[in-house]
């Protein structure tokens, strides 16, 4: 993971040079704010990747002598299917339409959204999945 | 996987706030007189106290994560024995501190509206409420996320790895929102 951390580290250095240069050459607050925040974006990702690179063992993609099969196995838990994201999206649509048609519709969206979000978060904590 | 996704999403959230910062500095650049007049109405000691609570809530949140990484979901002794606190106790305290921050923000808004600083009053009002308001919404979202983490610990009989991961990614989000607030506080209250 060190390679990825370095990519974002270089990006951070790039923005660290570009942001002040841009400010001194243009005195434009809009672009400077965007460049400064881009610097922080690169720092955030570089810090996260660097932090995890230290804690974990080298992955197959970090080792020169690794084989394709070394990467086999479980990556994480992925729900086979779930309808809750759809209901969450529908509820959010109602909230956004509420801005257009009237706040009462947004309130309906918040109500529907609470049910959908609770359903999504606790999908594998209840019913036959309770553990 | 979940934590990588969270970081990617937080990176996009960062650029969302970048747009707000850019808008703030742009309008401030063209309306300096308005800024001098309106920033005088800010109650800086109050906002500073509120900020301190939010920053400390990041510390309590991290202590909750350390408890989750030890696999300790509940307290080992009495509630008063802070050293024995588990994930739940620390997250409840973090929740209370986050809620205190939002409550403080409501007081602040009420005082400013009393001094005729509203979303429509001027470009300063628009920028003040858009930046702090969107941040406040993010804090509220974080508070809801804390409730979900706590809910998951009570819904399952055992404390699973997945629950620990949930607690960790919510803490990432909370630290992010906290750091954004420090930048916003410096921009709005200190830099003026």
Claim to verify: residue A17 and residue A52 sit in the same structural domain: yes
Residue numbers of chain B with a pLDDT score lower than 50: none
Claim to verify: residue A66 and residue A29 sit in the same structural domain: yes
How many domains in chain A? 2
Identify whether A37 is part of a domain: yes
Residues of chain B neighbouring A76 (CB-CB closer than 8 A): 1-2
| Contacts of A79 by beta carbon, 8 Å cutoff, 6+ apart | A123, A124
Query: Is B159 strand, coil or helix?
Result: coil
Claim to verify: residue A49 and residue A99 sit in the same structural domain: no
Residues of chain B neighbouring A34 (CB-CB closer than 8 A): 18-19, 22
Claim to verify: residue A6 and residue A60 sit in the same structural domain: yes
**Cβ <8 Å between A37 and B21:** yes
pLDDT of residue B181: 96
CA distance B162 to B1: 11
CA distance B2 to B164: 11
Residue in the structure block whose two tokens are 């979303």 = B119
Domain of residue A52: give its range.
2-71
CATH number, domain of B77, equals 1.20.120.80
Q: How far is CA B28 from CA A51, B31, B34, B150, in A?
A: 37, 5, 8, 42
Burial of B110 (0-12, 13-18, 19+ CB in 10 A): exposed
Claim to verify: residue A15 and residue A67 sit in the same structural domain: yes
CA distance A114 to B189: 35
Spatial contact of B65 and B168, defined as CB atoms under 8 Å apart: yes
Identify whether A78 is part of a domain: no
**Cβ <8 Å between A45 and B11:** yes
Mean pLDDT by 10 residues, chain A (131 residues): 90 96 92 94 93 83 86 81 94 95 94 95 86 78
Spatial contact of A75 and A34, defined as CB atoms under 8 Å apart: no
How many domains in chain B? 1
What is the model's pTM? Answer: 0.92
Burial of B65 (0-12, 13-18, 19+ CB in 10 A): buried
pLDDT of residue A2: 83
**Cβ <8 Å between A30 and B22:** yes
pLDDT of residue B153: 93
Q: How far is CA B98 from CA A37, A63, B51, B105, in A?
A: 25, 44, 10, 11
Identify whether A79 is part of a domain: no
Claim to verify: residue A91 and residue A62 sit in the same structural domain: no
Enumerate chain B positions whose Cβ falls within 8 A of a Cβ in A.
1-3, 7, 10-11, 14-15, 17-19, 21-26, 28-29, 144, 148, 151-152, 155-158, 160, 162, 176
B2-30 and B123-155 helices cross at what angle (nearest 10)?
170
Q: Both tokens of residue B100?
A: 């205190």
Claim to verify: residue A88 and residue A64 sit in the same structural domain: no
Identify whether A31 is part of a domain: yes
Identify whether A17 is part of a domain: yes
**Cβ <8 Å between A48 and B7:** yes
Q: What is the largest CA-CA distance in chain A?
A: 63
pLDDT of residue B1: 79
User: Chain-centre distance of CA B101, in angstroms?
Assistant: 8
Domain of residue B142: give its range.
2-190
**Cβ <8 Å between A130 and B156:** yes
pLDDT of residue B33: 86
Best A8, A28, A43, A48 member to test B by mutation, with max B CBs in 10 Å, is A48
Best B3, B5, B6, B7 member to test A by mutation, with max A CBs in 10 Å, is B7
Residues of chain B neighbouring A36 (CB-CB closer than 8 A): 21
CA distance B15 to A35: 10
Q: Both tokens of residue B67?
A: 């408890």
One-character DSSP codes across A22-35:
HHHHH--HHHHHHH
Q: What is the ipTM of this complex?
A: 0.87
B66-92 residues labelled b (16+ CB within 10 A) or e (exposed): ebbeeebbebeeeeeeeeebbbbbbbb
Residues of chain A neighbouring B17 (CB-CB closer than 8 A): 37
pLDDT of residue B127: 94
**Cβ <8 Å between B1 and A76:** yes
Residue from the list B19, B22, B151 with its beta carbon closest to the beta carbon of A122: B151
Nearest residue of chain A to residue B14 (CA atoms): A41
Spatial contact of B122 and B34, defined as CB atoms under 8 Å apart: yes
Sequence length of chain A is 131
């Amino acid at each position: 993971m060190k390679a990825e951390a370095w990519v974002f580290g270089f990006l951070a250095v790039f923005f660290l040079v570009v942001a002040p240069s841009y400010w001194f050459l243009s005195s434009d607050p809009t672009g400077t704010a965007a460049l400064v925040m881009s610097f922080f974006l690169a720092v955030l990702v570089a810090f996260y990747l660097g932090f995890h690179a230290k804690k974990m063992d080298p992955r197959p993609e970090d080792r020169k002598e690794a084989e394709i099969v070394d990467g086999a196995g479980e990556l994480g838990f992925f729900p086979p299917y779930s309808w809750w994201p759809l209901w969450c999206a529908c509820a959010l649509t109602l909230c956004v339409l509420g801005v257009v048609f009237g706040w009462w519709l947004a309130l309906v969206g918040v109500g529907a959204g609470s049910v959908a979000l609770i359903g999504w978060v606790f999908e594998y904590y209840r019913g036959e999945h309770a553990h | 996987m979940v934590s990588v996704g969270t970081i990617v999403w937080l990176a996009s959230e960062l650029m969302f706030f970048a747009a707000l910062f850019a808008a703030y500095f742009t309008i401030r650049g063209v309306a300096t007189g308005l800024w001098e007049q309106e920033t005088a109405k800010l109650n800086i000691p109050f906002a500073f106290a509120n900020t301190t609570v939010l920053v400390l809530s990041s510390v309590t949140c991290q202590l909750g994560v350390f408890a989750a990484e030890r696999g300790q979901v509940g307290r080992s002794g009495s509630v008063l024995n802070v050293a024995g606190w588990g994930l739940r106790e620390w997250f409840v305290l973090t929740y209370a501190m986050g809620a205190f921050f939002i409550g403080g923000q409501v007081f602040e808004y009420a005082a400013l509206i009393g001094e005729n600083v509203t979303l429509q009053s001027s470009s300063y009002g628009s920028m003040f409420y858009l930046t702090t308001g969107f941040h406040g919404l993010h804090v509220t979202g974080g508070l809801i996320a804390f409730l979900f983490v706590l809910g998951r610990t009570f819904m399952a009989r055992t404390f699973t790895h997945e629950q620990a991961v949930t607690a960790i990614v919510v803490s990432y989000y909370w630290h992010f929102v906290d750091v954004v607030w420090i930048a916003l506080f410096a921009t709005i209250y200190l830099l003026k």
